[in-house]
């Protein structure tokens, strides 16, 4: 057997997102690129800010020795200082460079954090709808994923979380702005979660970590602000990435920021550095770490996501599909239309595929009855899909 049992099973159940993306490729070969409306993959497609190219060129031309060498596993001190300033602003706490570990994106950050904190069989709570990869990340490090429903507007439900907390709960992961719902958790909800976790910790002697996955922090609409979390709960670990704010997903750069109020912070920080090494990342990409310092305060121009949010909302709404209005990120989370042969999201996504529209079933995010459309695609794809959506919904309703 060329692969392990675990990987074989994971491949069979493999991510719906990837599966639909592959379907898209096949459909495009058959019908042509411009006849397929592919909303399956969340691949940030705006260009990085112009300062990025300038900084890259400056670095390449600098002739500085050792640009490509190993460094401490946590990253360059000057980069951690820069990221600490950002984390301090974002989270209303004085984080400090000693509270930062540079990582290979948010995905790397989450894996490093989970490897560091989980004992075999420890439980990690996630809130539906959740980023589908959490299941793999948690399993990677011997954890057990416990998923709980959210409220009707996709806000976290503190009572639902309180019901599943046990002495084995190592962490609660929250993702705000959320993929796939686009919801930003309001400050009051974060405080309510902090209260539930603190109460549980006091009663059982183990404070769960609050692991905040926030790769979409700045990708928000209508003047919204993603509230701070760290100042609400001491045991907070933030996983941040520049995949969206600088539009650098392929460059794999992010960080972990740990609250200065966290108990046993020193050993936790040492553990995170150790895990960065033990997982084989060793350190986050060197050139990107240098570039972040030059680009402190810069963001990619994400105006086009707002325009595309408006376009897709109009088209999908006109076709008679209900959706949650995204406050952040670039996904439209839609309800399977009523009046069809079933309320099943896989059935409906397969039906959409017959109209050359590709989305992702909600089941992959723990939310059957829903499906996700990613609108980081060309405006022409969104505009071109209007007739196909109308035909698909009409045919669904018979």
Ligand X SMILES: Cc1ncc(COP(=O)(O)O)c(C=O)c1O
**Residue numbers of the site for ligand X (CB under 6 A)?**
42, 105-107, 131, 175, 179, 213, 215, 241, 243, 249, 254
* Shorter beta-carbon distance to ligand X: residue 42 or 158: 42
CB of 241 to ligand X, least distance (A): 3
| Shortest distance, position 201 Cβ to ligand X, whole Å | 25
Instruction: Between 256 and 382, name the residue whose CB sits nearer to ligand X.
Output: 256
Task: Kindly give, in sequence order, each residue whose CB lies less than 8 Å from that of residue 215, ignoring residues fewer than 6 positions away.
Answer: 105, 106, 239, 240, 241, 243, 244, 254
Q: Using the minimum distance from each CB to ligand X, give the nearer residue, 229 or 392.
A: 229
The residue among 189 and 213 lying less far from ligand X, judged by its C-beta, is 213
- Minimum CB separation of residue 292 from ligand X in Å reads 13
Q: How far is the CB of 333 from ligand X (least distance, A)?
A: 13
Smallest gap from Cβ 248 to ligand X, in A, equals 9
Kindly report the number of other CB atoms within 10 A of residue 200's CB atom.
Answer: 20
* DSSP secondary structure, 252-279, as one string: --EEEEE-TT-TTHHHHHHHHHHHHHHT
Decide whether 24 or 105 has the Cβ nearer to ligand X.
105
Q: How far is the CB of 339 from ligand X (least distance, A)?
A: 32
Dist. CA 321–CA 324, nearest whole Å: 10
Residues in the chain: 398
Give the gyration radius of the chain's Cα atoms. Answer: 21
Task: Count other Cβ atoms within 10 Å, centred on residue 285.
Answer: 18
Angle 224-358-150 from CA coordinates, rounded to 5°: 45
Output the smallest distance, CB 356 to ligand X, in A.
24
What does the alpha-carbon distance between residue 91 and residue 79 come to, in Å, rounded to a whole number?
18
Nearer to ligand X, 157 or 213 (CB): 213
Give whichever of 179 and 283 is closer to ligand X, judged by the CB atom. 179
Residues 6 or more apart in contact with residue 54 via CB below 8 angstroms? none
In terms of CB distance, is 288 or 321 closer to ligand X? Answer: 288
User: Between 131 and 154, whose beta carbon lies closer to ligand X?
Assistant: 131
How many angstroms from the chain centroid is the CA of residue 302?
A: 17
CA distance 212 to 227: 12
Q: Find the shortest distance in angstroms from Cβ 83 to ligand X.
A: 14
Beta-carbon contacts of residue 339 (< 8 Å; ≥ 6 apart):
396, 397
Tokens of 383: 């505009």
**CA geometry: angle 380, 382, 387, nearest 5 deg:** 105
Least distance (Å) from ligand X to the CB of residue 326? Answer: 13
Q: How far apart are CA 79 and CA 101, in angstroms?
A: 10
Rounded to a whole number of angstroms, the minimum distance from the CB of residue 249 to ligand X is 5
Of the pair 112, 393, the CB lying nearest ligand X is at 112
Helix ranges (DSSP H) in the chain: 5-12, 16-31, 50-61, 77-91, 105-117, 134-140, 158-164, 187-204, 265-278, 286-294, 303-318, 345-354, 379-384, 386-397
């Amino acid at each position: 057997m060329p692969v392990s049992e675990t990987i074989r099973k994971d491949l069979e159940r493999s991510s719906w997102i990837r599966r639909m993306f592959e379907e898209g490729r096949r459909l495009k070969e058959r019908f042509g690129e411009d006849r397929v409306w592919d909303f399956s993959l969340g691949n940030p497609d705006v260009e990085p800010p112009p300062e990025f190219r300038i900084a890259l060129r400056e670095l390449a031309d600098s002739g500085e020795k050792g640009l490509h060498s190993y460094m401490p596993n946590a990253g360059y001190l000057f980069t951690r200082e820069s990221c600490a300033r950002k984390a301090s602003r974002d989270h209303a706490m004085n984080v400090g460079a000693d509270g930062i570990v540079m990582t290979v994106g948010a995905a790397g950050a989450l894996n490093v954090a989970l490897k560091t904190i989980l004992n075999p069989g420890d439980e990690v709570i996630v809130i539906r709808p959740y980023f589908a990869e959490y299941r793999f990340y948690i399993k990677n490090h011997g954890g057990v994923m416990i998923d709980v429903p959210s409220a009707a507007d996709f806000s976290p439900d503190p009572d639902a979380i309180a019901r599943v907390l046990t002495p084995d709960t190592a962490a609660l992961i929250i993702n705000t702005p959320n993929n796939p719902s686009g919801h930003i958790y309001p400050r009051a909800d974060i405080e309510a979660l902090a209260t539930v976790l603190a109460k549980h910790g006091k009663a059982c002697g183990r404070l769960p970590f609050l692991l905040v996955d926030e790769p979409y922090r700045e990708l928000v609409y209508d003047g919204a602000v993603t509230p701070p979390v760290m100042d609400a709960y001491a045991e907070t670990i933030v996983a941040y990435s520049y995949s969206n704010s600088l539009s650098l997903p392929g460059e794999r750069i992010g960080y972990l920021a740990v609250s200065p109020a966290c108990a046993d912070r020193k050993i936790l920080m040492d553990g995170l550095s150790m895990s960065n090494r033990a997982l084989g990342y060793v350190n986050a990409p060197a050139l990107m770490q240098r570039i972040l310092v030059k680009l402190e305060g810069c963001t990619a121009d994400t105006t086009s996501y707002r325009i595309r949010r408006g376009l897709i909302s109009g088209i999908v709404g006109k076709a008679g599909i209900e959706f949650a209005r995204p406050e952040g990120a670039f996904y439209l989370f839609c309800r399977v239309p009523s009046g069809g042969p079933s309320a099943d999201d896989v059935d409906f996504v397969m039906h959409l595929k017959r109209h050359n529209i590709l989305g992702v079933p909600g089941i992959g995010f723990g939310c059957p009855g829903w499906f996700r459309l990613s609108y980081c695609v060309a405006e022409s794809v969104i505009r071109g899909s209007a007739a196909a959506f109308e035909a698909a919904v009409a045919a669904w309703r018979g």
